[in-house]
């Protein structure tokens, strides 16, 4: 694996190995050292979880990390991003972790960068967030390893969510039993690779093993894509009452950042079925597994 750009580039075996390696790290496997490889984080969109966990993962593997402040880079003087990436490659950076609003940009950069440099997609517009899908599946597999018997229900703003897109690809690749997307019609996915959709929270959550909440992505909504938030809360917010439609041992997930009281009630986010902060912890192990797969 030379770059980590989207789930569709992975074989089933590669995806399973990444999950196994992340779980091995979680369970105490010795960390290798890749101290000769330097990582650069290029985050053109805001991030807390993804940026910090890629940095922590690199620290655990003894890799030096450069965090570029993209507001202060020479792109403000007219340099194009392709030249920024080539400049960093010329200085000996081995791995570049890129988050950008432009869909497909990490793949484009990978095609223009020397092959000894590894590009990692840390989220590109609405398109993909493959390391998030990996950490989500690590969390699911840790709690419920029989993926072919699971029902995963994803509720929220599906159509603007790169998290939902990458999770859908990974569910298809790994043969997850059932996948249901729950959203108002206006936020339903335009086409489905895998799974089904419904606008009924009750129907969608019925017998779910995993309830996966998504944020309403206000920053990506065009004027004709808005849905009244009070109505959204009433019909789609995951509350303790709504959670009763799922299986009693269902786990509750959210990729973060959460908007408490919009897509998820605080009593659910902080409740006994929530594994939301475990997802964040697993993000570090998943990203260590990605670095290892790229550098071995």
Binding site for ligand CP (CB under 6 A): 47-50, 123, 132, 255-257
Closest CB to ligand CP among residues 184, 256: 256
Closest to ligand CP by CB, 49 or 143: 49
Question: How many C-beta atoms lie closer than 10 Å to residue 186's C-beta?
Answer: 13
Q: Which is nearer to ligand CP, 50 or 168 (CB)?
A: 50
Residue 196 DSSP SS3: strand
The distance of closest approach from Cβ of residue 46 to ligand CP in the complex, given in angstroms and rounded to an integer, is 6
- Secondary structure (DSSP) of 15-55: HHHHHHHHHHHHTTPPPP--TT--EEEEESS--SHHHHHHH
Strand 118-124 and strand 196-198: the pairing is: unpaired
State the minimum distance, in angstroms, from the CB of residue 90 to ligand CP. 28
What stretch of H or E contains 181? strand 178-182
- To the nearest whole angstrom, how small is the minimum distance from the Cβ of residue 265 to ligand CP? 20
Tell me the closest approach of the beta carbon of residue 254 to ligand CP, in angstroms: 9
Q: Which is nearer to ligand CP, 257 or 261 (CB)?
A: 257
> Whose Cβ is closer to ligand CP: residue 47's or residue 59's?
47
| Residue 134 beta carbon to ligand CP: minimum distance, rounded to whole angstroms | 12
| Per-position DSSP letters for 47-108, written without gaps between them | -SHHHHHHHHHHHHTT--EEEE-TTSSGGGGT--HHHHHHHHHHTT--EEEEEESSTTHHHH
Strand pairing class (178-182; 118-124): unpaired
């Amino acid at each position: 694996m030379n770059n980590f750009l989207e789930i569709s580039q992975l074989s089933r075996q590669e995806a399973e190995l990444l999950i196994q390696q992340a779980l091995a790290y979680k369970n105490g496997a010795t960390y290798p050292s890749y101290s000769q490889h330097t990582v650069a984080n290029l985050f053109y969109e805001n991030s807390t979880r993804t940026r910090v966990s890629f940095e922590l993962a690199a620290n655990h593997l003894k890799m030096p990390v450069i965090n570029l402040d993209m507001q202060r880079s020479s792109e403000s003087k007219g340099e194009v991003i392709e030249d920024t990436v080539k400049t960093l490659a010329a200085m000996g950076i081995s791995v570049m972790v890129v988050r950008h609003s432009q869909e497909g940009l990490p793949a484009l950069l990978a095609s223009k960068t020397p092959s000894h440099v590894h590009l990692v997609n840390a989220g590109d517009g609405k398109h993909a967030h493959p390391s998030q899908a990996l950490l989500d599946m690590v969390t699911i597999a840790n709690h419920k390893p029989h993926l072919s018997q699971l029902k995963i229900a994803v509720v929220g703003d599906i159509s603007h969510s790169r998290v939902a897109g990458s999770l859908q690809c990974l569910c298809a690749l790994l043969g997850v039993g059932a996948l249901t997307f729950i959203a108002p019609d206006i936020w339903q996915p335009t086409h489905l690779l895998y799974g089904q959709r419904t606008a009924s929270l009750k129907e969608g959550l019925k017998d779910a093993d995993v309830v996966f909440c998504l944020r309403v992505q206000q920053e990506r909504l065009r004027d004709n894509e808005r849905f009244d938030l009070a109505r959204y809360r009433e019909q789609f917010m995951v509350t303790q009452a709504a959670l009763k439609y799922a299986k009693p041992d269902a786990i509750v997930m959210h990729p973060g950042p959460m908007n408490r009281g919009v897509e998820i009630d605080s009593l659910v986010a902080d409740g006994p079925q929530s594994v939301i902060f475990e997802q964040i912890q697993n993000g570090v192990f998943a990203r260590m597994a990605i670095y290892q797969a790229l550098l071995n």
